[in-house]
Chains A and B, each alone.
Chain A
Amino acid sequence: MNPIHVQLVNLFAAAMLLLAFAMLSQRRILALIHLYALQGLALTASTVTVAWATGQHHLYGSAALTFALKVVVLPWILHRLIRRLSVKWDVETLINIPTMMLVGIVLVVFAFNLALPISDFSRSIARGTLGIALACVLLSFLMMITRSKAVPQVIGFLSMENGLFFAATSATYGMPMVVELGIALDVLVGMVILGVFLFQIREQFDSLDIHHLEKLRED
């Protein structure tokens, strides 16, 4: 019977996996943004739990940063972006949703088995969740591959970063503060650049469908 903090971390890990799957099967962009915000919330809660259980105070700082960035700032930027781009339609996927979820399950099994020997080496209390973190990364990658509009791909990229952060907190006790701040800044700057990029795509092709980008090739 695991102690309470390990159970809580397991619960938040499961919530993150659930949200990753929900994002995979979601059709509407607004709902995707909300799910991403919820995933950030689960991440924050998990970091706070690890911080409280192990007394590593710098994790409180990174939890606050995560909350500010991923639950407040980035979803707000995304909201503004889609309002200005007037993007509100349903997203069609390249392969149908049940097949995608089936591939997702296979990826989860693969990630779990990959993580088993690695998690034995870790001394962190949350080491059982390394497999889940890896699975989240792979699922977000899958989401990026199978969407045909640009905005969900951006959200997939952000969600991948969530998974990586979770892996870091579960295998070790977070990353050095400098590294974290660097990554956070990278993500923020990346968002701004991607926003500009999206506008350019829309200007060029009058649509955000990435199939139009296929015209840019040597023929």
Chain B
Amino acid sequence: MSLEGVLAQLAAAVAALVLGPLLLGWVNQWRAWLQNRTAPPLTQPLRTLHKLFWKESVMAHGASTLYRLAPYVVFGCMLLASMIVPTLSTNLPLAPAADAIALVGLFALARLFISLAAMDVGTAFGSLGARREMLVGFLAEPAFLMVLFTASLITNSTSLATIVSSLSHRSLAILPSLAFAGVAFTMVSLAENARIPVDNPATHLELTMIHEALVLEYSGRHLALLEWAAALKLFAYSCAGLAIFFPWGIAQANDRTALLFSLPVLVAKLALGGIALAVIETILAKMRIFRVPEFLASAFLLGVLALLVHLLLGA
């Protein structure tokens, strides 16, 4: 637990808190440009958060302590997840605390709390959203774990720091199992972060919303925390994907100068990833909700296939 470790950890947390909403803003800008509209400014999500924090929090009469607690718990889980994923550096004091399986568990914990909070108010939309969220979750979580298992089998470890340092030190090699895992990971990412083709982040129609239905009754600072948590989740997923599939540029332990370079490299990688996300969202159309299990089942089976290809080809 060295001083640079603690500093790296704090830097990762601050970077997550700031870059998360900025990434969201970047994706929204590109979506607007691709659709020939004028784009909101890059810092719009941060301004929205500031505005929401000032607003009063209006709660339903029947809402319980769980309802009030859930946004904080979800925010805490997502920030913890962002601190565990190696974003800027692998020298994180928190890295031994949670490995890849615990990361998936953290996301699941957040999902449980937000689903329960949605059911707490007792409206039809809340329970609908909870049901759909758990449906997406129960298929996406195994698929994500399969992707992580592939990376673990290749690097012989489930610790994210070890995976990153192992993969970045391999000589440039094309690993077909990682190619399969990459496709599966993209599909899972789209589903878990409530993006088209699984869920429309800008919708308010009953037939189409999943994430919106969960936060329908929240307002004020609670809504701000939940929106920030969603931005952090997108950031964490993007960084996890970058760490596994494009790990170059992340500072390794005992490498001070690399820490200075890692931030611009991360920003550049995230920018490219954001453009790719915007392009995917513009090209694809949203699926019917009954097709979502098939989509996720394909992602899950692709993950299993990635494991099998690794065991056959040794690559």
Q: Do A and B share a direct contact in the complex (Cβ within 8 angstroms)?
A: yes
Q: Say what secondary structure dominates the interface of chain B.
A: helix
B252 within 8 A of A: no
**Inter-chain contact B297/A18, CB cutoff 8 Å:** no
Check B301 against A14 for contact (C-beta < 8 Å).
no
CA separation between A96 and B297, bound complex, in Å? 12
- Say yes or no for A33: interface residue by CB 8 A criterion: no
Q: Is the interface of A mostly helix, strand, loop or mixed?
A: helix
With beta carbons under 8 angstroms apart, the residue of A1, A13, A98, A105 that contacts B308 is A105
Task: Tell me whether A8 is interfacial, beta carbon within 8 Å.
Answer: yes
A2 surroundings in chain B (CB, below 8 A): 173, 315
Name A164-207 residues within 8 Å CB distance of B. Answer: none
Q: Which residues from chain B contact A1 at a C-beta distance below 8 Å?
A: 171, 173
**A41: Cβ under 8 A from any B Cβ:** no
Tell me, yes or no, whether B302 is within 8 Å of chain A by CB: yes
User: Any chain B CB within 8 A of the CB of A124?
Assistant: no
Give the chain B neighbours of A112 by CB distance below 8 A: 308, 311-312
Q: If the complex has contacts A98-B293, A98-B294, A98-B297, are A11 and B305 also in contact, measured as CB distance less than 8 A?
A: no
Q: What's the minimum C-beta distance from A147 to chain B, rounded to whole angstroms?
A: 16
Q: Flag if A108 contacts B313 (CB, 8 Å).
A: no
Q: How many CB-defined contacts (below 8 Å) exist between A and B?
A: 69
Verify if A68 is at the interface (C-beta below 8 Å from B).
Answer: no
| Contact residues, B168-205 vs A (CB, 8 A) | 171, 173-174, 176-177, 179-180, 183
Residue of B nearest to A13 (CB): B176
Q: Does B304 contact A (CB under 8 A)?
A: yes
Given A2-B315, A7-B315, A8-B174, A25 and B298 touching (CB < 8 A)?
yes
Taking the complex as formed, is A216 at the interface, i.e. its CB lies under 8 A from any CB of chain B?
no
Q: Enumerate chain A residues within 8 angstroms of B315, measured Cβ to Cβ.
A: 2, 7, 10
Q: Which of B183, B293, B308, B314 is the one whose CB lies under 8 Å from A18?
A: B183
Which residues of B lie under 8 Å from residue A29 when comparing CB positions?
Answer: none
A1-B173, A13-B176 known; A25 and B294 CB under 8 Å?
yes
Nearest Cβ on chain A to B290's Cβ, whole angstroms:
11
Residues of B within 8 A of A104 (CB): 301
Question: Please, how many residues of chain A have a CB less than 8 angstroms from a CB on the other chain?
Answer: 28
Q: Give every chain B residue within 8 A of A105 (Cβ-Cβ).
A: 301, 304-305, 308
Chain B residue at smallest Cβ distance from A119: B312
Please name the residue on chain A nearest to B297 by beta carbon: A98
Minimum CB–CB distance from A117 to chain B (whole Å) comes to 13
Please state if A7 and B304 are interface contacts (CB–CB under 8 Å): no
Classify chain B: how many residues form its interface, as a range: 20 to 34
Q: Is the CB of B177 within 8 A of A14?
A: yes
A214: shortest Cβ distance to chain B, in Å? 28
Could you tell me if B173 and A101 are in contact, using CB atoms closer than 8 angstroms? no
Contacts of B302 in A (CB 8 A): 18, 21
Pick the contact of A14 from B173, B293, B297, B309 — CB < 8 Å?
Answer: B309
In the complex, what residue of chain B is closest to A101 when comparing beta carbons?
B301
Q: Do B176 and A131 have beta carbons less than 8 Å apart?
A: no
Inside 8 A of B298's CB, which chain A residues have their CB? 21, 25, 97-98, 101
Q: Is A73 an interface position by the 8 A CB rule? A: no
* Chain A residue with the shortest CB-CB distance to B178: A14
B135 to chain A, nearest CB (A): 14
How far apart sit A21 and B177, CA to CA, in the bound complex (Å)?
14
- Asked if residues B180 and A11 are in contact (CB atoms below 8 Å), the reply is no
CB-nearest residue of chain B relative to A96? B294
Taking CB atoms and an 8 Å cut-off, the chain A residues in 43-63 that contact chain B are none
Q: For residue B183, which residue of chain A has the nearest CB?
A: A18
Report chain A residues within 8 Å CB of B314. 128
Instruction: Indicate if the CB atoms of A11 and B312 lie closer than 8 Å.
Output: no
Q: Which of A83-98 contact B (CB under 8 A)?
A: 96-98
Closest 7 CB pairs of A and B: A14-B176, A98-B297, A101-B301, A112-B312, A11-B174, A7-B174, A10-B176
Given A101-B297, A131-B312, 5 new contacts (CB under 8 A): A10-B174, A11-B174, A97-B294, A98-B294, A98-B301
Q: Please list the residues of chain A having a beta carbon within 8 angstroms of any beta carbon in chain B.
A: 1-2, 7-8, 10-11, 13-15, 17-18, 21, 25, 96-98, 101-102, 104-105, 108-109, 112, 116, 128-129, 131-132
List the interface of chain B (C-beta within 8 A of A): 171, 173-174, 176-177, 179-180, 183, 293-294, 297-298, 301-302, 304-305, 308-309, 311-315
26 contacts between A and B (CB under 8 A): A1-B171, A1-B173, A7-B173, A7-B174, A7-B315, A8-B174, A10-B174, A10-B313, A11-B174, A13-B176, A14-B309, A15-B179, A18-B179, A18-B183, A25-B294, A25-B298, A96-B294, A97-B297, A98-B293, A98-B294, A98-B298, A101-B297, A109-B308, A128-B314, A132-B309, A132-B312
